[in-house]
Amino acid sequence: MTTGFFWDEKCFWHAGGNYAGMLPVGGLVQPLPGGLPENPESKRRLKNLIDVTGLAKELLMSGATAATMDDLRRVHPERYLSAFKTLSDDQGGEIGLRAPFGPGGFEIAALSAGLAKAALFAVLCGELSNAYALSRPPGHHCLPDRPNGFCLLNNIGIAIEAARAAGLAGRFAVLDWDVHHGNGTEAVFYDRADVLTVSLHQDRNYPMDTGAFTDRGADVGQGFNLNIPLPPGTGHHGYLSAMNRVALPAIRAFRPDVLIVACGFDASANDPLGRMLATSETFGAMTQQVMDLTADVCNGRLVMVHEGGYSEVYVPFCGHRVLEVMSGSDVHAPDPMAATFDLRQPDVRLDTFLDGILDDMANALA
Ligand code: ZN
């Protein structure tokens, strides 16, 4: 059995608007246009790197068909989908907050969701050991009725609901290690007991008003949402500790049929939109953690869906490391920044202090 890698060049053609970093250009403040941080380069270079090292030859490389309108309607209301499609058929534009798109953006977003769906279906059908979807645009901030934070459709929500409709699985766990809160995925499943959503994120980075530890779900979904906010500067030790002390025990207790990781690389020490200190080895080690867990609870069924990550230099090395571990390959891409980022890790006293905070969270859940 092999690891699948789902991608499509057209996802790199998604075009954002005229931004300067996170600031829209115009009005009283006129920052120099510099493009949107969410651009194709970090993702395209990940694909380029696995081609150059030869890792791609050890993966099952695959495209996918776009998610269907029925797939989209299970998560998003018709009025949002039709507004998005109408603007996309014209000249593109922006609906919601910080989620611009160009002409044809609707079809590319549906394709991005289709990659996540195809990866999930292939793993649930037993065709692959595990799978990675290089989705773009990302999805985890997208609310059912409102795009948000570069995310136009909730890729993981769409994939889960399609798999459920097809009768492929009944219990799904989502672990979001993007540096930003997975508020969209949380919103899609907030009142549901059959989908556990867990988000590790930098406390009050983006969005600034969501992601609290006390937000545990609603109605029958009470207890099936878990936010683990982490302080700026959390590094290798802190991430693995948060996984071991809080995230993984919750997922293990839930006993999902499959684990889907919202795999952002913006917790890296080199990311312009995060203030964390994770390294490529951190992502590799977290991948090993989720592989060990899924081997125990759901026959290894693991799907990674790409979310954020805005360092075009460093994302490729983080993604390569994840894919090495997922596939068990010996093809390695040495991380040229590893020595520098290892030196920047927090003092052991800070790590110990964070362990205490995480133990408090774990105790509150017990
Ligand atoms: Zn992010």
pLDDT digits (tens, 9 = 90+) for 201-256: 999 999 999 999 999 999 999 999 999 999 999 999 999 999 999 999 999 999 99
Domain count, the chain: 1
Residue from 354, 355, 74 nearest 231 by CA: 354
Find the range with the poorest average confidence among 86-95, 141-150, 231-240, 308-317. 86-95
Phi, psi for residue 257 in degrees, rounded to 5: -80, -25
Distance 167 CA to ligand 1 centre (A): 31
In DSSP notation, 98-112 reads S-EE-TTHHHHHHHH
Residue appearing with tokens 């540096």: 179
Residues 6+ positions from 247 with CB-CB distance below 8 Å: 175, 198, 200, 226, 228
Distance 307 CA to ligand 1 centre (A): 7
- What tens digit of pLDDT does each residue of 338-363 get? 999 999 999 999 999 999 999 999 99
Q: How many CB atoms lie within 10 A of CB 366?
A: 5
What percent of the chain lies above the pLDDT cut of 70? 96
If pLDDT is split at 50, 70 and 90, which confidence band does 19 have? confident
- What tens digit of pLDDT does each residue of 179-207 get? 999 999 999 999 999 999 999 999 999 99
Distance 126 CA to ligand 1 centre (A): 30
Strands of 60-62's sheet, edge to edge? Answer: 60-62, 3-6, 130-133, 302-306, 258-263, 172-176, 195-202, 225-230
Task: State the Cα–Cα distance between residues 167 and 97, nearest whole angstrom.
Answer: 34
| Average of per-residue pLDDT across 95-107 | 90
Catalytic residue among 14, 76, 141, 180: 141
User: Near ion ligand 1, which residues have CB within 5 Å?
Assistant: 178, 180, 264, 266, 308
Distance 38 CA to ligand 1 centre (A): 10
Cβ burial, residue 108 (10 Å; 0-12/13-18/19+): buried
Distance 137 CA to ligand 1 centre (A): 12
Find the range with the poorest average confidence among 18-27, 107-116, 259-268, 312-321. 18-27
Query: pTM of this prediction?
Result: 0.97
Task: State the Cα–Cα distance between residues 21 and 210, nearest whole angstrom.
Answer: 22
Distance 312 CA to ligand 1 centre (A): 14
Residue 323: per-residue pLDDT: 98
Residues across the chain: 366
In this predicted structure, the answer to whether residue 29 has a pLDDT above a threshold of 60 is no
Task: State the Cα–Cα distance between residues 97 and 25, nearest whole angstrom.
Answer: 14
Distance 151 CA to ligand 1 centre (A): 10
141 annotated active-site: yes
Distance 274 CA to ligand 1 centre (A): 8
Task: State the Cα–Cα distance between residues 74 and 77, nearest whole angstrom.
Answer: 8
In this predicted structure, the answer to whether residue 83 has a pLDDT above a threshold of 80 is yes
In this predicted structure, the answer to whether residue 122 has a pLDDT above a threshold of 90 is yes
The residue type of 231 is: P
- Give the CATH number, domain containing residue 124: 3.40.800.20
| Average of per-residue pLDDT across 313-323 | 98
Domain of 98, in residue numbers: 3-365
If pLDDT is split at 50, 70 and 90, which confidence band does 96 have? confident
Residue 50: per-residue pLDDT: 98
If pLDDT is split at 50, 70 and 90, which confidence band does 281 have? very high
Distance 60 CA to ligand 1 centre (A): 27
